[in-house]
Chain A
Amino acid sequence: MTSGRTRQGAILAAIWAALIFAPYWMPLFGGYTALGTRVLAIGLGAMSVNFLLGFTGVLSFGHAAWFGLGAYGAGLCLKWVAASTPLGLLAGTLVGGIAGGLLGALLVRRRGIYFAMVTIAFGQVFYYIAFQWSSLTGGDDGLRGFARQPLHLGFATINILNNATAFYYFALLCFALAVGIMGFILRSPFGHTMIAIRENERRARFLGIAIELHIWIAFTLSCFFMAFSGALYAMVNNFADPRMLHYSLSGDFVIMAVMGGMRTFWGPLLGAVVFVVLQDYISSITVNWMSFIGLMIVAIVLFFPRGLLGLLRQRKTA
């Protein structure tokens, strides 16, 4: 038990050390700081999807909608309301989270494949809105003309706009905050109830747990996390476009979660690292990158459904 705990502590320390020193070690492998920031935002998105998928057992295949709404919310707030990075993040998170919570109330009675189908379809609504309402969203060209703003702390100003490394650390702080809250929820009685629902919904119902309410809360929380990661992502390139809302991005997030290991807390982050880096790399060497990604997805489903971390864990117990 104690050795297990120290082992866990060592792994956690290694993950955070790798994240904290990323701007220093990434260039050695041909990476660049903005790529690291992108991975953080996408990884947080994959972890948010997994918050629902891996820990409540509910498959949403439309989560890109909340990611994209977060991105547009942040962008529009920065552009039209106030030039403030924290306010933009807050606005994006609220827009995506509240929209997700409202729609979630309509969906919670659905289960399994039907739930997935309805979430895909509803997610696409926002894609069409972003695509069609070009006077507000810039349509197909995407939303431009906003930028993250330097942070004013009262006693000092941190220029996260022009200094990529400073922005990376700001993003890491946001990431740590969100991941901390996520971990706290999962360790709370509510988190244990989520897992109980995942393991055996009928038994949980017999124990008197309000299943629909719990799933709705988990769904809504996951939407808030998702929107937060989207808002962060919009600030990486100071850009938001309709593809951030499209169901194929939802699929990417699910793949990241599965690839990393959806029964693990950190798996989706690992999945996001592998997915983003591979996509970046493959699309730079071949025009047929779609086939490679497709084959990778098929291979994961058929041969590695437990994901990378699941594979490690399995080997350890065997």
Chain B
Amino acid sequence: MIDLLLFNATNGLIIGAFYALMAIGLSLILNLSNVINFAHGGFLVIGAYLSYSLTPYLGFWGALIVAPFLTAAIGFLVERLLIRRVYGRDPLYSLLLTFGLAFIIEDGTRQIWGALGKPTSIPAFLSKPLSYQFFFITGYRLFMVAIVVLAIAVLFVLLRYTRAGIRVRAGTLDLETVAALGINIRTLRSINFAVGIFLAGLAGVLASGQLGLEPTMGDGLLMPSFIAIIVGGVGSLTGTLLGGLMIGVAAGLTAVVFPSASDAIMYVIMAVVLLVRPRGLLGEEGMLT
């Protein structure tokens, strides 16, 4: 029983790390630009397929590094051409715009890479289990978590210590004042959007090794990311991280007792959080209420 619980908790933690990676990207964009990016799952798919296409040329490691940057570049362009036009308008329009974009991306992926799933390969040394006792922790899963931790740590350091990072954090609180201080918020928002998409692309590359490639692979990850943000509290990246890990572990543990409810548990958590603490666990009072 202990083994089973441990297995599922670890599993949940790994999935949770993944939700967190997605959710932090979404959260970055939401905090600074007030846009819910419905196409985030779409960008994840782009990242995954790009790494698939790049692997024959660059190898596993090369694709792992290049694909997220390419995805971010696409995100940057999309922000410049489309998303930028709905800033400051009713949130309805940004939701619809990214909703339509998600359609186009899904169909485009299907057009370019085909509707059927693609097999993916990961280096042999990563696919072996670590030990017989912990058979469920393959090297790849540990590696995934390590990359996620690294990415999030780098992001937090950047936000804390670099000039751009401080501006992003200030913009989360009061974008108007930041603009009034003479900072170019157009560029800031573009870069911020691209960083968010970079994280989605990275999540896509990592997910493809675990889940395989499919044009709809982003769908299942989008909703948990929303919930991670709501549970953690809008406006707080740490909260989003915590929310992601929490719902991942909760889903993992629920799978032990009541497998068919493992998807539903995160909604229960969300409902409870909204009842008890409407702004989310670490949310700032007054942010986007």
Contact = CB atoms under 8 A, between A and B. Distances in A.
Interface of A: 53, 59, 61, 106-107, 109-114, 116-118, 120-122, 124-125, 128-129, 132-133, 248, 251, 254-255, 258, 288-291, 293-298, 300-302, 305
Nearest to B271: A106
B82 A302 contact: yes
Nearest to A127: B223
A24 to B, nearest CB: 35
Interface in B230-281: 230, 234, 260-261, 263-264, 267, 270-271, 274-275, 278
B95 A116 contact: yes
Contacts of B226: 117, 120-121
- The dominant DSSP class at the B interface is helix
B267 A116 contact: no
A290 B155 CA distance: 35
Given A110-B278, A305-B93, 12 more contacts: A109-B278, A113-B36, A113-B95, A116-B36, A122-B270, A124-B267, A255-B96, A290-B107, A293-B100, A297-B100, A298-B97, A301-B96
A186 to B, nearest CB: 20
A291 B103 contact: yes
Contact of B96 (A107, A113, A117, A300): A300
Nearest to A112: B91
B101 A59 contact: no
A114 B99 CA distance: 16
B274 to A, nearest CB: 6
Interface string B83-103: 001100111111111011111
B126 interface: no
B289 A290 contact: no
Contacts, number: 121
B10 interface: no
Contacts of B214: none
Contacts of A129: 264
A297 B96 contact: yes
Given A294-B104, A294-B107, A251 B30 contact: no
Interface of B: 30, 34, 36, 38, 82, 85-86, 89-97, 99-104, 106-108, 111, 223, 226-227, 229-230, 234, 260-261, 263-264, 267, 270-271, 274-275, 278, 288-289
B81 to A, nearest CB: 10
Given A114-B288, A132-B260, A290 B106 contact: yes
Contacts of A293: 100, 103
12 contacts: A59-B92, A114-B234, A114-B288, A118-B274, A129-B264, A251-B96, A288-B107, A290-B107, A291-B107, A297-B97, A301-B86, A302-B85
Nearest to A302: B85
Given A294-B104, A297-B97, A298-B82, A53 B92 contact: yes
Contacts of A128: 263-264, 267
A216 to B, nearest CB: 15
A290 B104 contact: yes
B172 to A, nearest CB: 14
Contacts of B263: 128, 132
B288 A112 contact: yes
A118 B103 CA distance: 21
Nearest to B35: A113
Contacts of A112: 91, 288
Contacts of A117: 36, 226, 229-230
A59 B104 CA distance: 23
